[in-house]
Amino acid sequence: MAQIFDRSSNSLARISLVLSGIIVISLGVTLNYLQRSPWVTRQGQRADQPVPFSHRHHVQGLGLQCQYCHTSVEKSSYAGIPPTKTCINCHAQIWTNADLLAPVRNSWATGQSVVWTKVHDLPDYVYFNHSVHVNKGIGCSSCHGRVDEMPLMYQENTLQMEWCLNCHRNPAKNLRPTSQIYQMAWQGPSSSAPVWCASKDVPGVPTAQTVNCTLKDPASNGAQLAALEIPSLAGTYQVATASAGSGAVSLPAAAALHYTKFTDQDALGKYLIVQYHIRPPHELTSCDTCHR
Amino acid sequence: MSSNGGTGNVFEMGGSENMLHEAQDLNMAKETGSATVRAKQPEAAKQPEATQQSESAQVIEAAQARLAGMTGKRYWRSVDELAGTPEFEQALQREFPQHASEWVDPVSRRGFMKLMGASLALAGLTGCTKQPEEPIYPYVKQPEDLVLGKPVYFATAHPFPMGSVPLLVKSEAYRPIKVDGNPEHPMNHGTTDAYTQGTLLGLYDPDRSQRVLYRGENRQYANFLTDFSAMLSASSANGGESLYFLSGTVVSPTLAAQWKQAQQTYPKAKWVQYDAVNRDSARAASKAAFGEYVDAQYKLDVADIVLSLDADFLSGLWHPGFLKLAGDYAKRRKLDPGVTMNRLYVTESTPTTTGFKADHRLSLRASQMEGFAAALAAALGVGSAPAGYAWTPAQTAFLAAVAKDLKANAGKSVVIPGEQASPAVHLAAIAINQALGNVGKTVVYTETIAPMPTEQTAEIRQLADDLRAGKVDWLVILDSNPVYSAPADIEFKKALGHAKVVVHLGLYPDETAQMADWHINGAHYLEMWSDVRAYDGTVSIVQPMIDPLYGGKSAHEIVQAMLTSPDLSAYEAVRATWKPALSAKGDFDFQWRKALHDGWIADTAFAPKTAPAKIAAIPVAAAPDATAMEVIFRPDPTIYDGRYSNLGWMQELPKPVTNLSWDNAALMSIQMLSSLQAVEGDVIEITVQGRKIKAPALVVPGHPDQSISVYLGYGRRNAGRVGTGTGFDASPIRLASAQLFATGATARRTGDIYEFAITKSHYIDHRDAIARTYGDIEAAKTFKPDAAPTSLEANEAQSRGIIRYATLEEFRKNPNFAHEGENYATPSKDVTLFPNWKYNENAWALTIDMNSCTGCNACIVSCYAENNIAVVGKEEVRIGRDMQWIRIDTYFEGDLNAPRAHFQPMTCQQCENAPCEQVCPVGATVHTPEGLNAMVYNRCVGTRYCSNNCPYKVRRFNWLLFSDYETESLKLMRNPDVTVRSRGVMEKCTYCVQRISAAKIRADKENRDVRDGEIVTACQQACPTQAITFGNKNDKKSRVAQLKAQSRNYTVLADENTRPRTSYIAGVINPNPDLMENA
């Protein structure tokens, strides 16, 4: 009986074995890349919005502070999307007839919401809290990127769990002084732009009040510092009051501040972890931190 | 391993698996063939009666024989178990209840496989898809004080006919999402009950009436007002002679004031109040004793001896002042230093948790209660003992001991009559309290908290007569459902046809709404302005949490429409009522805002009345015929008089003592069942004066013989999608002359069989027997450790110390009793394969005080609301798929007819050495550094290994898509801080991790530790007796750490080396030595 399979079948079989191996592996690799790709994460995508609101124009151009619109970022889990009223505060006066703002005027007239599309959309089983991040030294731009340079809003990071954990495992690399939270251009300290920090060492006060950090050398630029940032501010001192002649006003005694100079993020981060009482990584990465 | 051996094993396993499947198929075929017939014993139904009788008789005999042979404590959870019936042995062999692993929807297995195949194919694709885009709807003008994501709390009160519950409602973006007690209110200190918790679902119930109807057609409220005012102007000439109002018990002083005002124009108009569960007995007795209607207020915090005459004051809101009484009772049971323990005697005609919490419980037939009360009064020197009553030696001993104890503690004792006891019992209680000098100390009499007290049954009977006499032109029914609830013999439904126009205002298009010409959709109490009084008379303003969802109206608005300013809102009306009182305190607006903020108006409590009672004689009925059968009517512990019957939470809630869910039953003793020649689940026909109902029989240990208890509120015909058709309606045999209990009833077995959904036996497992017979299931079946019965959960209650308690005397002699006994040993911490984790910071822990817990169910409903728990339905509960994260295990002990019972709330124990975590293949259940056993829903793939390995059986699996993702109104109700679980996901108690996280974030921002008491779990918050305490056990100053340091602290199944974080404080009872000797 003639052979059913030709000798070449052997090679075919071998090749197909190899091929199927390659297919399985490449499928795995593809899926891996696919699920991290912007197609899935929407990273970098600009959603269609009813109004092409430009953060660049409003933040960089006009200098609006983040909290003018995102009012509850320090208080609540939500940063807050501004009500139409916030837009109308200014746009009742300027650009009152701009076509682009028709949806806003419409909303104001009809009482119906401007329906935005969510750009940073976490899965429903993830419970993120803005307030604790902002209060503990994570700035807006650490997660949202340079919003002041975005003409149209997009998602800077993947917002996937591995991205969250990257920071929760090592928060030091992103911590900044709470005075710099809303500073979009924050780069972290360097030798050319050092940061001086002093601990006030008062237990039981909110995080933002425990540490003084300044970008100006407190030794040489004392005059430019806010009164409470002045080093060695011990005892009372005299200020001119409105009711001149009433004499010296006694201010509460501030403890002497001893500033430390930081020139790299790592050192600053480690310092702030201690000062801000950041929980250790094993607690920050515990499942119940984000899932309930 | 050789390949042969391996193959052989595989075949063996395959073979046995196939057999298992076949067996299941058979069961399924049986079930689909006859849905109403119990699959468990279908042949039993066809057996002749003689066999039936012998079967149940055998069960009793076997059960009694088992008890007779026992010494010491012996626990059991169901009668089947006590007898060791084959069914129970069979159930024992199953890890899960019968059919728990099967698909019970009307989809065939084949259809299911098709669906599965399709969804698997789709799953491959859906895994790669991204989330859908989500819109954001910001405010146009955001309220100034609103911080989205931060809940706001508002004070209000739950109006309830028996007395209101002051509340603090959690509001998320102005949606009420959790109803809890007002922590600062002196009457409840933040506690609530099951009903009040359940009313939240009532607000969002999709079946609520949503529009005004005129004979079934849509109308506007303005149309009604046009008709109404036309009628009013016509009838003002004759003083409103043919205008009648019918409502439930009026609880609002403002409504009473409005009515008083209306009567000036319409002096002949009549207002009738009727609730199926009312206080007629108390009213009649107080009228007889004091010449006016008064309320009794009991002060259990100063009472050393408490006697309840059928008063169920520890179970729920149906007893006036429940929260205050239960709280005060528990304060005297916590064995705090300097607090002497009280002693509770209970005589009751239907078993309740109050009875089982008592130090001494006496089961009496309802008809004997009067005689007993009068005999006790006679023993204390009031009146003479009633003639004709024959008491058993046990009853005589009980009476003598109680009388002696009461006398010895005169002035420090109290006798509480039940609302469902007859006026004579109330009179006896008033007389005894007065004779003992308790009045002014442990009991005070005040004005009634209901502003228009009446004797309601007589009133509704009169109304029905007036209707038939054609005296009624307009009948306006406010928040009442008389067509369903009125006494059967007054034929209210027929009488209603004689009225010219019937108006019905209500939350639901219910039975009465169907009969009414006008139906006006009512406002829920969370949507309206009103006012109520708490137990001591303190006024709370009811303020709306949300605009009426469907534009509902309240009774205030209807009555206001009759007055000179018909458009005055309820808000203005309530303000007007309290303006004089508040203005007297200072600036009215300031005082008004303070009252709203605080939740009550200070100094509005009633002053005690000092006039003594004048009781000529206690009118005791003739001694009952011992053979006459009685039917006792009681409000349902979960749906009350039917008003909560469309609330899935309440329907699914297992009733205290019986653990029956979704149904009511004819509750009876096992002797009674035996005399009916029936078994549990047999439908019996009960006849009272020729009126019949059919009800399935259920045995309750400790029920008096020759009587049957039935709960009201079931058998609704127009309750809504949840409540319609559940249970049976008991009202056809409830006559106006016998509202509390009916004598001379007859009962017979019909031959039909009814399927109950009882959650009790679901948690039986065979762990111990299997373990001790080295895995041999056959041997485990007959295994008798130490000649005790087979290992059962209940047996373990004793042998492994699940329930531990002692008498006060024993405890004093040996404070460490909770740790001495066989198998109480806890393995050393080092006996583990895994390195021990050091909990350096927070270590969350919980204690449950077995002495305080009364098994009232408030915690379960609170957990429903807090944790978005799904309702599964009767069929699913029946096969053990109920989703409640906390259950209350009832363990009976001792004599079948006079058992003691222990209530043990059982929820995830948050084991430090958790067996569930070790078997999860996907790391979906893991430990947190603070010792929580966390459940990561998005990781769970539904293997259910964790549940198999859980010794406490506290994990709940979403077998199907139980959560309602569709109904819009329910979405408003959900707690946004807790994930809504989908199909195929395991869930369980989390210690309210969302509350822990919120508190930690708050503390972190303020750079401090979480304070003790800052985190309160939902169950703890609701608990009327403060039996549950949560905290950080590493903080030695925390309450939980101090409780855990007590000698009575023990953990359940500690010998498993699970090291639970939840521990129990062993019970201590305070029996009367006189009665102990007799026993």
* Residue B293 pLDDT: 93
Chain A hits for B141, Cβ within 8 Å: 83-85
Regarding whether B683 and B734 lie in a shared domain, the answer is yes
Regarding whether B707 and B572 lie in a shared domain, the answer is no
Q: Which residue of A has its CA nearest to B975?
A: A292
Regarding whether B429 and B565 lie in a shared domain, the answer is no
CA B689/CA B734 separation, integer angstroms: 10
Instruction: Answer yes or no: is pLDDT of B247 > 80.
Output: yes
Residue B254: what are its φ and ψ, rounded to 5°?
-65, -40
Read off the pLDDT of each residue in B853-870 and give the average, rounded to a whole number.
Answer: 94
Provide the percentage of residues in chain B whose pLDDT is more than 70: 83
The shortest C-alpha distance from A160 to chain B (Å) reads 12
Chain B hits for A81, Cβ within 8 Å: 136, 138
What CATH number is given to the structural domain containing B189?
Answer: 2.20.25
Chain B hits for A284, Cβ within 8 Å: none
Tell me the β-bridge partners of B532.
B540
Regarding whether B516 and B429 lie in a shared domain, the answer is no
Domain assignment of residue B867, yes or no: no
Domain assignment of residue B1006, yes or no: yes
Regarding whether B367 and B310 lie in a shared domain, the answer is yes
- The angle, 0 to 180 degrees and rounded to 10, between the axes of the packed helices B570-583 and B253-265 is 100
* Residue A90 pLDDT: 92
Taking only residues 23 to 62 of chain A, the set having a beta carbon closer than 8 angstroms to any beta carbon of chain B reads 31, 34-35, 39-42, 47
Residue A113 to residue B139, Cβ atoms within 8 A: yes
More confident residue, A203 or B333: B333
Regarding whether B510 and B440 lie in a shared domain, the answer is no
Domain assignment of residue B363, yes or no: yes
Q: Which residue of B has its CA nearest to A47?
A: B133
Mutate to test the interface with A, among B940, B989, B997 (most CBs of A within 10 A): B997
Chain B hits for A131, Cβ within 8 Å: 1001, 1005
Regarding whether B470 and B326 lie in a shared domain, the answer is no
What CATH number is given to the structural domain containing B46?
Answer: 2.40.40.20
Residue B137 to residue A113, Cβ atoms within 8 A: yes
CA B991/CA B928 separation, integer angstroms: 12
* Residue B101 pLDDT: 44
Q: Which residues of B491-508 are buried (b: 16+ CB within 10 A; e: fewer)?
A: ebbebbebbebbbbbbbb
Mutate to test the interface with A, among B139, B885, B930, B938 (most CBs of A within 10 A): B139
Instruction: Answer yes or no: is pLDDT of B849 > 80.
Output: yes
* Residue B387 pLDDT: 83
What pLDDT band is residue A104 in, cutting at 50, 70 and 90? very high
Chain A hits for B149, Cβ within 8 Å: 72, 76-78
Instruction: Answer yes or no: is pLDDT of B222 > 70.
Output: yes
By Cβ distance, the residue of A78, A85, A136 closest to B149 is A78
Regarding whether B299 and B431 lie in a shared domain, the answer is yes
pLDDT, tens only, B61-96:
665 665 554 444 556 665 555 555 555 555 544 444
Task: Report whether B52 contacts B674 (CB < 8 A).
Answer: no
pLDDT, tens only, B16-48:
333 333 333 333 333 333 333 333 333 333 344
Instruction: Answer yes or no: is pLDDT of B157 > 50.
Output: yes
Domain assignment of residue B908, yes or no: no
Domain assignment of residue B170, yes or no: yes
Residue A123 to residue B134, Cβ atoms within 8 A: no
CA A77/CA A132 separation, integer angstroms: 8
What pLDDT band is residue B203 in, cutting at 50, 70 and 90? very high
* Residue A243 pLDDT: 41
Taking only residues 112 to 151 of chain A, the set having a beta carbon closer than 8 angstroms to any beta carbon of chain B reads 112-118, 121, 123-125, 127, 129, 131-132, 135-136
Terminal Cα distance for chain A, rounded:
69
Instruction: Tally Cβ neighbours within 10 Å of residue B801.
Output: 24
The shortest C-alpha distance from B1058 to chain A (Å) reads 21
What pLDDT band is residue B117 in, cutting at 50, 70 and 90? low
Query: What's the mean pLDDT when you consider all of chain B?
Result: 84
Residue B1005 to residue A207, Cβ atoms within 8 A: yes
Residue B131 to residue A123, Cβ atoms within 8 A: yes
* Residue B58 pLDDT: 62
CA B200/CA B205 separation, integer angstroms: 9
By Cβ distance, the residue of A80, A115, A288 closest to B993 is A288
Read off the pLDDT of each residue in B974-987 and give the average, rounded to a whole number.
Answer: 92
Regarding whether B224 and B161 lie in a shared domain, the answer is no
Q: Which residue of A has its CA nearest to B150?
A: A76
Residue B1031: what are its φ and ψ, rounded to 5°?
175, -165
Total number of domains in chain B: 5
DSSP of B249-302: ----HHHHHHHHHHHHH-TT-EEEE--SS--HHHHHHHHHHHSS--EEEE-GGG
**Amino acid present at B449:** I
* Residue B766 pLDDT: 36
Q: Which residue of A has its CA nearest to B997?
A: A289
Residue B147 to residue A77, Cβ atoms within 8 A: no
Instruction: Tally Cβ neighbours within 10 Å of residue B109.
Output: 13
Residue B1063: what are its φ and ψ, rounded to 5°?
-130, 165
Mutate to test the interface with A, among B126, B1004, B1006, B1009 (most CBs of A within 10 A): B1004
pLDDT, tens only, B940-972:
999 999 999 998 889 999 999 999 888 899 999
Q: Which residue of B has its CA nearest to A122?
A: B131
Instruction: For residue B1061, give both structure tokens.
Output: 């974080």
Strand-pair category, B243-247 with B270-273 = parallel
Residue B142 to residue A115, Cβ atoms within 8 A: no
Least confident of B99-103, B595-599, B854-858: B99-103
The ipTM assigned to this model is 0.87
Domain that holds residue B1063: 806-830+840-849+991-1079
pLDDT, tens only, A13-45:
999 999 999 999 999 999 988 888 888 888 888
The CA-CA-CA angle for residues B978, B661, B275, to 5°, reads: 100
- The residue to which tokens 């009882």 are assigned: B758
pLDDT, tens only, B158-197:
999 998 999 999 999 999 999 999 999 999 899 999 999 9
The shortest C-alpha distance from A108 to chain B (Å) reads 7
pLDDT, tens only, A145-182:
999 999 999 999 999 999 999 999 999 999 999 888 99
Domain assignment of residue B135, yes or no: no
The CA-CA-CA angle for residues B255, B258, B261, to 5°, reads: 155
By Cβ distance, the residue of B137, B149, B977 closest to A76 is B149
Terminal Cα distance for chain B, rounded:
63
Least confident of A46-60, A206-220, B894-908: A206-220
More confident residue, B763 or B626: B626
DSSP of B513-577: HHH-SEEEEBPPGGGS-EEEE-TT--EEEE--SS--TT--B-HHHHHHTTSSSTT--HHHHHHHH
Least confident of B98-112, B152-166, B905-919: B98-112
Instruction: For residue B941, give both structure tokens.
Output: 């793939």
Mutate to test the interface with B, among A130, A287, A289, A290 (most CBs of B within 10 A): A287
Regarding whether B394 and B469 lie in a shared domain, the answer is no
Domain boundary among B426, B446, B466: B446
CA A104/CA A113 separation, integer angstroms: 9
Instruction: Answer yes or no: is pLDDT of B590 > 90.
Output: yes
* Residue A106 pLDDT: 92
* Residue B1008 pLDDT: 87
* Residue B782 pLDDT: 56
CA B94/CA B112 separation, integer angstroms: 24
* B905: DSSP letter: E
A75 near B CB under 8 A: yes
Regarding whether B377 and B433 lie in a shared domain, the answer is yes
By Cβ distance, the residue of A34, A80, A135 closest to B1005 is A135
What CATH number is given to the structural domain containing B580?
Answer: 3.40.50.740
Regarding whether B670 and B536 lie in a shared domain, the answer is no
Domain assignment of residue B532, yes or no: yes
Domain assignment of residue B67, yes or no: yes
Question: Does residue B821 come out as left (phi exceeding 0), alpha (psi in the -120 to 50 range) or beta?
Answer: left
CA B502/CA B899 separation, integer angstroms: 50
Residue B929 to residue A282, Cβ atoms within 8 A: yes
A288 near B CB under 8 A: yes
Return the closest-CA partner of residue B1014 out of B998, B991, B993.
Answer: B998
* Residue B708 pLDDT: 93
Residue A85 to residue B142, Cβ atoms within 8 A: yes
Domain boundary among B422, B446, B470: B446
CA-based radius of gyration for chain B? 29
Return the closest-CA partner of residue B934 out of B1064, B1051, B1061, B1065.
Answer: B1061
Domain boundary among B420, B446, B472: B446
Instruction: For residue B958, give both structure tokens.
Output: 């979403």
Least confident of A81-90, A204-213, B583-592, B595-604: A204-213
Chain B hits for A272, Cβ within 8 Å: none
What CATH number is given to the structural domain containing B1076?
Answer: 3.30.70
CA B488/CA B498 separation, integer angstroms: 17
Task: Report whether A235 contacts A261 (CB < 8 A).
Answer: no
